[in-house]
């Protein structure tokens, strides 16, 4: 599987010595194959040479019986053909090949630099995930180690307590139950009885669930380059981090040279509009606002109309976030979506639910409730760096099949990272086995 192939070396890969031994074996096998091929060629060459000699003897005999003498004039003609003139030497077509080789040599260092830059970026993102998920990693690792220290044998009590441990780690009830059943079978098939072997099986099954329910393409933020605005609608309860996420994402798009517009449609919460306006000043992005306690849909209408008129690349819409079980909030979100579609029928490009990662299972419940009213296209998980409940991503991916698009791994704007399942799994599980 794709994800498992990417991270298996980081989590449970072989040691460098074992890899070197395998490389030596492969080289030795390759040398054996090449030696066999060369020996076959050596046997075949004498036979070919013998046939060539036999064929060559006949024309030799004919030339001895009927020798031909060339006239001096013919010899002179041949010499004229063979020897090039001075002008032909100057116009030799072989000489321009040298600068071509130079250009090829010049491009090679550039390619190497690009590859090194890509490696550096990948390494930075991996380190960002490991740092941001440090609390989750340590919390889960401590619970797992304490769990194994308590058990001496693998029996039914072991699996029941393991299921409780997974639920406490915020992977979700359904996921924990499914995973425990799989582990029962896997432990039997692999005869995993030692603590280290069982830990590896547990982590492997968790990684497989990530892989089965994730799609790399779905995890990327969608956008279109047809000259029309990409409208991103952000929903979620108050305090989840919607406004901060919008500000950080606006800076990212601005740094990429894109034109951005923000809409402050959370008109009821005190300070919400001012907070987004402050972000607009900080990242130099205009913000569309309305009167105090104005109809949020009217603000979104004005913002959408302006985005279309000015050919803005991205319109980021902040919305209200009262408790998700209030019918008024859900009706308001539906109205906003209808308003957008009046002016831009194919929008919004993304409807993103922003969740506070530190709320654990409450985040999963919020996702289910919001998805009933507003058709979500993805999730944003914030505040994971200050929480030990990062396992909730696994529950959401397994139970809702919703892709996580962005994760907040710190307070800086650059700490809002594109979700990467491989880096997330490594950050979550590294050092546990």
In the beta sheet, which residues pair with residue 109? none
Tell me whether residue 238 is annotated as binding. yes
Tell me whether residue 132 is annotated as binding. no
Tell me whether residue 152 is annotated as binding. no
Tell me whether residue 237 is annotated as binding. yes
Tell me whether residue 385 is annotated as binding. yes
Tell me whether residue 242 is annotated as binding. yes
From the number of C-beta atoms within 10 Å of its C-beta (0-12, 13-18, 19+), residue 381 rates as buried
Contact 212, 419 (CB under 8 A): no
Question: Cα separation of 305 and 156, whole Å?
Answer: 62
What strands lie across the sheet with 378-382, from one edge to the other? 287-288, 260-264, 314-318, 230-235, 350-356, 378-382, 404-408, 416-418
Tell me whether residue 280 is annotated as binding. no
Rounded to the nearest 10°, the torsion over CA 428, 429, 431, 432 is 130
3-state secondary structure of 292: coil
In the beta sheet, which residues pair with residue 380? 354, 406
Question: Cα separation of 195 and 239, whole Å?
Answer: 41
Of 148, 173, 149, 151, residue with least CA distance to 163: 173
Tell me whether residue 264 is annotated as binding. no
Question: Cα separation of 320 and 328, whole Å?
Answer: 11
Tell me whether residue 322 is annotated as binding. yes
Tell me whether residue 103 is annotated as binding. no
Neighbours of 74 (CB within 10 A): 10
Q: Which residues fall in the annotated binding site for GTP?
A: 236-243, 318-322, 382-385
Q: Which residues fall in the annotated binding site?
A: 236-243, 318-322, 382-385
């Amino acid at each position: 599987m794709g994800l498992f192939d990417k991270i298996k070396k980081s989590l449970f890969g072989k040691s460098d010595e074992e890899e070197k031994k395998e490389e030596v074996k492969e080289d030795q096998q390759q040398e054996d194959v090449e030696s066999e091929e060369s020996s076959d060629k050596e046997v075949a060459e004498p036979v070919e040479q013998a046939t060539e000699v036999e064929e060559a003897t006949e024309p030799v005999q004919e030339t001895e019986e009927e020798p031909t003498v060339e006239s001096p004039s013919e010899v002179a003609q041949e010499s004229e053909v063979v020897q090039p003139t001075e002008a032909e030497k100057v116009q030799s077509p072989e000489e321009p090949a040298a600068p071509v080789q130079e250009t090829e040599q010049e491009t090679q260092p550039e390619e190497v630099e690009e590859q090194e830059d890509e490696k550096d970026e990948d390494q930075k993102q991996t380190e960002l995930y490991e740092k941001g998920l440090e609390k989750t990693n340590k919390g889960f690792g401590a619970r797992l180690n304490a769990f194994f220290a308590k058990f001496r044998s693998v029996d039914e009590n072991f699996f029941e307590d393991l299921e409780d441990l997974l639920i406490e780690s915020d992977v979700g009830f359904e996921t924990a139950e499914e995973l425990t059943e799989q582990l029962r079978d896997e432990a039997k098939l692999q005869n995993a009885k030692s603590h280290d072997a069982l830990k590896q099986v547990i982590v492997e099954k968790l990684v497989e669930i990530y892989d089965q329910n994730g799609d790399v393409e779905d995890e990327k933020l969608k956008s279109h380059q047809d000259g029309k605005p990409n409208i991103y609608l952000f929903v979620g309860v108050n305090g989840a981090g919607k406004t901060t996420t919008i500000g950080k994402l606006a800076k990212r798009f601005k740094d990429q040279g894109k034109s951005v517009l923000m809409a402050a449609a959370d008109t009821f919460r005190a300070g919400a509009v001012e907070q987004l306006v402050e972000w607009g000043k900080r990242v130099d992005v205009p913000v569309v606002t309305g009167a105090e306690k104005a109809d949020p849909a009217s603000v979104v209408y004005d913002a959408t109309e302006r985005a279309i008129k000015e050919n803005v690349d991205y319109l980021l819409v902040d919305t209200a976030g009262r408790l998700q079980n209030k019918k008024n909030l859900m009706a308001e979100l539906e109205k906003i979506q209808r308003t957008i579609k009046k002016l831009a029928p194919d929008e919004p490009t993304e409807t993103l639910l922003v969740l506070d990662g530190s709320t654990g299972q409450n985040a999963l419940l919020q996702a289910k409730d919001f998805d009933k009213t507003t058709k979500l296209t993805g999730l944003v998980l914030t505040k994971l760096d200050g929480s030990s409940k990062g396992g909730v991503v696994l529950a959401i991916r397994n139970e809702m099949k919703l892709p996580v698009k962005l994760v907040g791994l710190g307070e800086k704007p650059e700490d809002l990272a594109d979700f990467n399942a491989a880096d997330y799994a490594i950050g979550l599980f590294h050092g546990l086995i």
